[in-house]
Structure 1
């Protein structure tokens, strides 16, 4: 399986939401990472054939998806960021309805299996109108897997999930990734770090990097600092630098800052995390 994105661009008026994007994706989880407005959603809409590119092309196993959209649609599972449900239907009724629309016959066993996977087995007969946001998100995850897709695209899938559910979903993605292409789009770096074998980093419509997580870390070497500050100085530090983390100590706060130069005489260099590298490479306020 191969998803090839070649010299892709999308223009809205005078603005390019994407420009010169070239990527090759094979089996595994590919993390699509970037700040809001980076172009992630536009890229996913083009891959899923909801939009056409202004220039360039997307190929699924050698076939241009714009010219032949059915070739990818029949093998596609998609969870959009804003996923809607019919509140008067139960979870099982809703999934059965979607299975029928997609031409999936005798999907009852598959639906039962998916409801178990997303931990909704005991809620299958409850109406979706009474579900919490996290429960609706889990229904969305289940519907994206109905056809056992070869290409799975999930947009911010763990939003609204509690920590236990988030871990469950990460493990599910890892299990599914052996024989399909999975694109995980998110701004939650920890989700990418836990599941992705490769990361495509977008910023301002451009592809900043396409590397393994360990390779991305090298971009932040020598640019991450920690030191202790009084509570009263935290706002000042946040105004001046990109703070990637804080830890409460007895005598103040240990702040973690991304910066090219030492931000304070007491600051000491420390090993970068993937989130530090992300902030470095997207221009997160480095000084």
Structure 2
């Protein structure tokens, strides 16, 4: 599936703030894992119904990665800074690991600084990615099959992310070329799972308190999300709260919590992973771990 650049939406690629990604043909690519639906879905789409952590990535509806979630910041940053061309998506499916799809990255933009990206004394860069091409398979390919039919035999070792060479990338792409593209079916399945969430939990994404589906018309707030330095009033509010609440920024992105606090509107919410926008005020600059307050 190719990205549709004919859209009139002025904040979608190739428009600002998106920059063309110019990958090197000699660069390594990434294998990465994602949580997929297994028990209630025919297709291994992202785990939309995951309890206390509804997944938005990989976001096939917008062909984006890291636009709406805080998922795998390091991979996204490494891909941009090292001109890597592909992301291959792997997951656990029917009790075994499989390769399900890929993105060829066409554009990127740098997101606003987030406290939840604070580490080593600074807020780390947050790159958002959009693919110009993607392909998703059904059935996905077992790791065992890949090891037998390519020289990517190390795929059977345990990993959360793994770099593969340009030659190995070509080997995987050869497997994809022989198979039908099920991207549309995956997207339709995501919509079905969203409806299940809404029926039983009021929202399409309950822990996000989000009723909208994901498409380019609905993600403007993420593309242009406000942050501390983008609005002087918000910046002043956050700075005052950081001081008043004795916030320890080293704990702002704690991996050991599912409790989060918005410094702008005082909203408290739960999710296993930090969100980019506050579910209540849509601010993107003031979310911190509750553990960072008066530690």
- CA radius of gyration, larger in: 1
Which structure: greater strand fraction?
1
Which interval holds the TM-score relative to the shorter structure?
Answer: under 0.3
TM-score normalized by the length of structure 2: 0.25
TM value normalised by structure 1 = 0.25
Higher helix share: 1
